[in-house]
């Protein structure tokens, strides 16, 4: 085949794709296609290819005028497509939906404020991928309002699929509650005023689960602060609700002092079940974790040692006359015992020109007896969950904690919140949850490439009381920082960085006119990148 350019007297030349064939003794031309719509430059390029010539030799006439990171965007957008996230948001295509999808992808790629996000569309192929290259921050704010209006419906579809606590002062606070499935995959998020205590956020979540998600039976797992005794009384009167929580240390101490918990029983096993009249219609599962007990003992000794050392220094100051006033001595001593949280174990005597102290060894011993001891309490009958499974369910709270850490950490950076209206704050938090939903599924798909433990079945069947341990294969990955094939193991973030080295190059002819067309060439992925992208393409709900 070849390109034949046939001149026309009064019009553009005809560009024909032809081949020469032999008929008997004659060689005739046969036209395969009329390519006259092409430019002469395009025709010459096709002619060169058909002749076997290189289209762009190393010293040829093309230049790269722009390069944008593309591989990480490709992985995220592919994951969102596999998760059918667009339909999850709204079945009807719209500009607002595209903007929300772009903000979710941007938060997974690298969280930043809405203003910074709107100015970063061209820093990668993200803006182009969602068709939002020209969108400014005001459009993003409007899209947040659009998202908040649809939160209830989105959460229902997700479910069908499946005060300042950090010491910061002088900033407004907001509480949010996250609901996940048993795997730790997020399905719903609720937002409360910053002065709302954890127990007060619980009952609205129960109502949401039963009414909005139409669940007839709910098993709620929460820690001791979330599911308090007052909440338990209400839950026990709520139809279709069972719960799993734990006793506080004071309640455990009463059981030990009353002889209900005999510590020598742990010589042969690490958990046993009992019933008690103070906890009617409940099962109490008593557990003891020796490594945890040893850790807490060491920590207490270290804190007591540091407390004693600093109190001795205060005592010397008083003895030398540098501190005389009783009030000033008290302030200095209070600073020490509050620093190490050991006030309950220290007996103080302060007077003008006098200071002495001693460690209350009886209290220390009483607390040490409970080291590593905890009691899981539940309304679940034994036929629904064995003692071991109940403890495993309680420890499953770690999956929710992992979700919270990811939301707060550099992965998604739910804070700082650059919004002031209540609805925008709610929408921002919900957007972050959707970004975590995408990241969670991507991390699961990439588990074999990351430092994560791949032996999930082992985690489900492990000793419920013993400290969680990683499989030998996972420990080897951490120690060597290599996968079984010898290639580097990654974190989620470094794997995205690896993929970002796949760039999209925009090219044109050297010395071309400004209005001449361009073409794009993507970097050819390496083996690791192809594997990572292939795993995303195979992602399933």
pLDDT tens, residue by residue, 456-479 = 666 666 777 776 778 888 888 889
Q: Is the dihedral of CA 121, 126, 131, 132 positive or negative?
A: negative
Contacts of 115 (CB under 8 A, 6+ apart): 137, 418
Contact (CB, 8 A) for 438 and 85: yes
Beta-sheet strands, E only, within 398-491:
none
Contact (CB, 8 A) for 341 and 307: no
Q: Among candidates 227, 265, 271, which has minimal Cα distance to 375?
A: 271
- Please state which of the ranges 52-56, 225-229, 332-336, 361-365 shows the lowest mean pLDDT: 52-56
3-state secondary structure of 96: helix
In this structure, the number of other CB atoms found within 10 A of the CB of residue 298 comes to 11
Contact (CB, 8 A) for 139 and 469: no
| Whole-angstrom distance, CA of residue 378 vs CA of residue 357 | 43
3-state secondary structure of 284: strand
| Whole-angstrom distance, CA of residue 303 vs CA of residue 174 | 33
pLDDT digits (tens, 9 = 90+) for 283-321: 999 998 888 888 999 999 999 999 999 999 999 999 999
More confident residue, 189 or 360: 360
| SS3 sequence of 159-192 | HHCCCCCCCCCCCCCEEEEEEECCCCCEEEEEEE
Ranges 46-50, 474-478, 493-497, most confident = 493-497
Query: In terms of pTM, does the model score above 0.85?
Result: no
Phi then psi for residue 8, to 5 deg, are -120, 140
- pLDDT value, residue 164: 40
- Whether 166 has a pLDDT exceeding 60, the answer reads no
3-state secondary structure of 468: coil
More confident residue, 160 or 297: 297
- Whether 428 has a pLDDT exceeding 90, the answer reads no
Average pLDDT score over the chain: 84
- Whether 408 has a pLDDT exceeding 60, the answer reads no
More confident residue, 398 or 70: 70
Q: Report the half-sphere exposure of 451 (CA within 13 A, side-chain side).
A: 10
Contacts of 99 (CB under 8 A, 6+ apart): 130, 132, 135, 139, 140, 143
More confident residue, 158 or 163: 158
């Amino acid at each position: 085949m070849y390109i034949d350019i046939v001149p026309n007297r009064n019009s553009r030349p005809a560009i024909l794709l032809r081949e020469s064939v032999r008929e008997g003794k004659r060689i005739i031309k046969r036209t395969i296609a009329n390519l006259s719509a092409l430019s002469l430059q395009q025709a010459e390029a096709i002619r060169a290819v058909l002749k076997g010539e290189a289209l762009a030799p190393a010293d040829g006439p093309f230049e790269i005028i722009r390069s944008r990171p593309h591989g990480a965007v490709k992985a995220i957008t592919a994951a969102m497509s596999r998760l059918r996230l667009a339909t999850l948001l709204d079945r009807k295509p719209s500009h607002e939906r595209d903007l929300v999808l772009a903000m979710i992808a941007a938060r997974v790629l690298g969280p930043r404020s809405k203003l910074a996000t709107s100015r970063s569309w061209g820093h990668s192929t993200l803006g182009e991928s969602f068709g939002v290259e020209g969108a400014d921050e005001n459009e993003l704010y409007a899209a947040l309002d659009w998202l908040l209006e649809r939160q209830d419906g989105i959460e229902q579809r997700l479910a069908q699929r499946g005060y300042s606590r950090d010491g910061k002062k002088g900033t407004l606070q907001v509480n949010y509650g996250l609901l996940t499935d048993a795997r730790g995959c997020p399905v719903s998020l609720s937002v409360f005023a910053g002065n709302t205590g954890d127990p007060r956020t619980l009952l609205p979540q129960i109502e949401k689960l039963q009414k909005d998600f139409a669940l007839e039976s709910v098993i709620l797992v929460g820690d001791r602060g979330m599911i308090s005794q007052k909440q338990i009384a209400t839950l026990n009167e709520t139809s279709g609700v069972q719960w799993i929580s734990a006793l506080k240390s004071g309640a455990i101490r009463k059981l030990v002092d009353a002889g209900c918990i005999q510590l020598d029983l742990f010589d042969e096993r690490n958990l046993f079940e009992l019933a008690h009249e103070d906890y009617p219609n409940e099962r109490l599962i008593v557990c003891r974790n020796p490594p945890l007990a040893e850790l807490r003992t060491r920590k207490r000794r270290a804190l007591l040692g540091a407390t004693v050392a600093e109190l001795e220094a205060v005592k010397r100051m008083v003895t030398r006359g540098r501190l005389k006033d009783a009030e000033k001595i008290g302030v200095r001593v209070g600073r020490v015992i509050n620093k190490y949280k050991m006030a309950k174990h220290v007996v103080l005597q302060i007077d003008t020109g006098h200071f002495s102290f001693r460690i209350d060894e009886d209290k220390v011993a009483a607390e040490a007896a409970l080291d590593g001891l905890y009691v899981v309490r539940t309304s679940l009958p034994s036929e629904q969950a064995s003692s071991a499974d109940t403890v495993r369910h309680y420890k499953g709270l770690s999956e929710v904690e992992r979700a919270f850490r990811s939301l707060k950490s550099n992965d998604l950076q739910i804070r700082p919140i650059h919004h002031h209206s209540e609805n925008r704050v709610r929408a921002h938090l919900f957007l972050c949850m959707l970004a975590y939903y995408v990241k969670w599924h991507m991390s699961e798909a990439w588990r074999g490439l990351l430092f994560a433990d791949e032996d999930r079945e082992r985690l489900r069947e492990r000793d419920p009381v013993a400290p969680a341990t990683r499989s030998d294969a996972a420990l080897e990955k951490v120690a060597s920082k290599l996968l079984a094939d010898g290639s580097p193991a990654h974190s989620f973030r470094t794997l995205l960085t690896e993929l970002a080295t796949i760039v999209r190059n925009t090219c044109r002819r050297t010395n071309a006119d400004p209005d001449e067309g361009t073409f794009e060439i993507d970097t050819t992925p390496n083996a690791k990148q192809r594997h990572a992208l292939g795993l995303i393409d195979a992602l399933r709900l």
